[in-house]
Amino acid sequence: MMNNILVLPLIIPILVGILLVFLRPYIRVQRVISLLTMIGIAFISLYTLNRIQAEGILRLDFGGWKPPFGILFVADSFAVLLVLTASIVTAICLIYAFSSIGERHEKMYFYPFVLFLVAGVNGSFLTGDLFNLFVCFEVMLLASYVLLTLGGEKRQLREALKYVVINVLASWFFLVALAYLYGTLGTLNMAQISERVAEAGQGPLLTTISILFLIVFSLKAGLLLFFWLPGSYSVPPTVVAALFGALLTKVGIYALFRMFTLIFYHEPAITHNLIGIMAGITVIAGCIGALAYKDLRQIVSYNVVIAVGFILIGLAVATQTSLEGSIYYIIHDMIAKAMLFLLAGTMITLTGATKFDQMSGLIRNYPLFSWMFFIVTCSLAGIPPLSGFVGKVLVGQGAVETGSYVLVALGFFSSVVVLYSLLRIFLHSIFGETIISKEDEMPLKKGLLVPIVFLGIGTIALGLGTEALASYVSDAANTLSNPSVYIDAVLSENK
């Protein structure tokens, strides 16, 4: 079975994570092993991605149980592109962690939990079974609870309590929705659910269930129900916040895309319109948040919210073009948000202040670092040739095709707000009068700068190398807009 490779992005981080628990005192060994693991997974997913182009969607039936009876992993271009990006971003964040997180965290199993988090994220992307998706979500969430509370500061504990309770409730809704779906259709295999929904027609009952799923994944993705997000993303250490901002909401977004392109695509007048309205409100609320605060961490967290809304506009209009745009934008956003969180966190570490009007003139002290901030600002605003551009254009084009002009306007209005909110930081803290003298200047460690530069190169490369990525993304969007491709790949016998 050559397809065993599909389980590696889930199983390797778990096994290595368990191994690292026993290597607790050897911090250097832990660092090297965890970094190598993530690089290894990146290469594995790159290889898988190329195999999918050659052989079509791959699947792995665990224990040889043919679908729909067993649990299975399904790798299509969409899932594997996200696994690939997630591994690269995590590897780079790990490099940042080496010189920022501190020995106290490292000895308290920081690296194993990052790996467990990655295992949960990758599992959620790859699974083809709805209940298995729930389990992978929980693996990811439990790791995130620990990473959020690690260090045990008062405000971490305070925010973690809310974060955990909200997620326990979201998981409860997930189980309720699963129970109803199982009671209605009698299966949990996503391809078979899709087939049965198509056969039976998506009646009012199934549409209600689909809205239940919409609530669940919106809570996880921060679509409209994002009230928990700014609080909990602004308390953990910088690198953990970067991982959360880059990976966690994307898993919710991925699940929304799967559910509403593969399974519940029959009643777009209800479900997709609802997603459109929610996305619109999310964008507006995110913009208000990004402009209202002076605290860097809050501004950055609200930028996550804006991006979630923007990506979901692509799902709401659901044309092939807009789906392609959303996929580009998810990949871009993983890289750029990690970079933004790292930059904001580094600025706070360097100056000791959290609000942007308490910093000034950083460009004199840290020129390269400052230009990186400029790059990420342009990238998030969607200025060509950086990576945000393609996604924005394609989502906009798709929305124009279907005549959703309100969403187009909101989407591009949000770009201006993103630009303004970040440029405000740039002008205040990076330009402006230098207030830190050369003697008082805190040295910027190479270990902090290098990962940021890597991510900066990533966003430039993604923008310039769109052509190289185009075939993968169009294949991914093709699978999303034609559910039969996915269903045939899963339910056919000869694999």
Partner 1 sequence: METLMIILIGILTSVATYLVLSRNIIRVILGTAVFSHAVHLLILTMGGLKKGNVPLLTEADAPYTDALPQALILTAIVISFAVTAFLLVLAYRAYQDIGTDDLQALRGTNDE
Least distance between partner 1 and beta carbon 414 (Å): 24
Instruction: For residues 375 and 461, give the distance between their C-alpha atoms in angstroms, rounded to a whole number.
Output: 12
Applying CB under 8 A, the span of 50-58, 99-107, 154-162, 327-335 interacting with partner 1 comes to 154-162
Give yes or no for residue 149 binding partner 1 (CB under 8 A).
yes
Least distance between partner 1 and beta carbon 358 (Å): 13
Q: In the numeric block, which tokens belong to residue 152?
A: 């045990």
User: Phi then psi for 444, rounded to 5 degrees?
Assistant: -85, 115
Give yes or no for residue 39 binding partner 1 (CB under 8 A).
no
Instruction: For residues 281 and 153, give the distance between their C-alpha atoms in angstroms, rounded to a whole number.
Output: 33
Give yes or no for residue 208 binding partner 1 (CB under 8 A).
no
Q: How far apart are the first and last CA of the chain?
A: 10
Give yes or no for residue 11 binding partner 1 (CB under 8 A).
no
| Positive/negative CA dihedral, 114, 104, 351, 145 | positive
| Positive/negative CA dihedral, 30, 32, 38, 41 | negative
Instruction: For residues 269 and 248, give the distance between their C-alpha atoms in angstroms, rounded to a whole number.
Output: 29
Indicate the residue among 157 and 464 with the shorter CB distance to partner 1. 157
Give yes or no for residue 168 binding partner 1 (CB under 8 A).
yes
Cβ distance 340 to 381 under 8 Å? no
Cβ distance 213 to 259 under 8 Å? yes
Give yes or no for residue 188 binding partner 1 (CB under 8 A).
yes
Give yes or no for residue 155 binding partner 1 (CB under 8 A).
yes
Give yes or no for residue 159 binding partner 1 (CB under 8 A).
yes
Site map 216..245 versus partner 1, x via CB under 8 A = ---------------x--------------
* Residue selected from 18, 21, 36, 179 as contacting partner 1 according to rule CB under 8 A: 179
Range 394-413, binding partner 1 (CB under 8 A): none
Indicate the residue among 200 and 464 with the shorter CB distance to partner 1. 200
User: Phi then psi for 58, rounded to 5 degrees?
Assistant: -100, 150
Indicate the residue among 162 and 446 with the shorter CB distance to partner 1. 162
Applying CB under 8 A, the span of 164-172, 322-330, 356-364, 413-421 interacting with partner 1 comes to 164-172
Give yes or no for residue 191 binding partner 1 (CB under 8 A).
no
* Residue selected from 24, 27, 31, 145 as contacting partner 1 according to rule CB under 8 A: 145
Least distance between partner 1 and beta carbon 172 (Å): 5
Pairing assessment for the beta strands 72-75 and 58-61 based on DSSP bridges: antiparallel
Indicate the residue among 131 and 374 with the shorter CB distance to partner 1. 131
Least distance between partner 1 and beta carbon 119 (Å): 15
* Residue selected from 175, 291, 427, 442 as contacting partner 1 according to rule CB under 8 A: 175
Applying CB under 8 A, the span of 128-136, 309-317, 406-414, 475-483 interacting with partner 1 comes to 128-136
| Positive/negative CA dihedral, 91, 123, 250, 349 | negative
Angle (CA) 53-56-60 rounded to 5° is: 120
Instruction: State the amino acid at position 90 in one-letter form.
Output: T
* Residue selected from 104, 107, 162, 446 as contacting partner 1 according to rule CB under 8 A: 162
Q: Please list, in sequence order, all residues whose beta carbon lies within 8 angstroms of the beta carbon of residue 193, skipping any fewer than 6 positions away.
A: 130, 181, 185, 187, 263
**Across the chain, how many H-helices and E-strands are there?**
22, 2
Applying CB under 8 A, the span of 19-27, 134-142, 189-197, 472-480 interacting with partner 1 comes to 134-142
Applying CB under 8 A, the span of 42-50, 75-83, 147-155, 327-335 interacting with partner 1 comes to 147-155
> H-type helices in 357-465, by residue range?
362-365, 367-381, 388-401, 405-425, 446-464
Instruction: For residues 373 and 366, give the distance between their C-alpha atoms in angstroms, rounded to a whole number.
Output: 11
Indicate the residue among 240 and 307 with the shorter CB distance to partner 1. 240
* Residue selected from 7, 19, 70, 138 as contacting partner 1 according to rule CB under 8 A: 138
SS3 at position 109: coil
* Residue selected from 131, 228, 374, 420 as contacting partner 1 according to rule CB under 8 A: 131
Q: In the numeric block, which tokens belong to residue 225?
A: 């129900």
Location of structure tokens 């319109």? 273
Applying CB under 8 A, the span of 1-9, 56-64, 137-145, 439-447 interacting with partner 1 comes to 137-145
Give yes or no for residue 21 binding partner 1 (CB under 8 A).
no
SS3 at position 4: helix
**Contacts to partner 1 by CB under 8 A:** 131, 134-135, 138, 142, 145, 149, 152, 154-155, 157-162, 164-165, 168-169, 171-172, 175-176, 178-180, 182-183, 188, 231
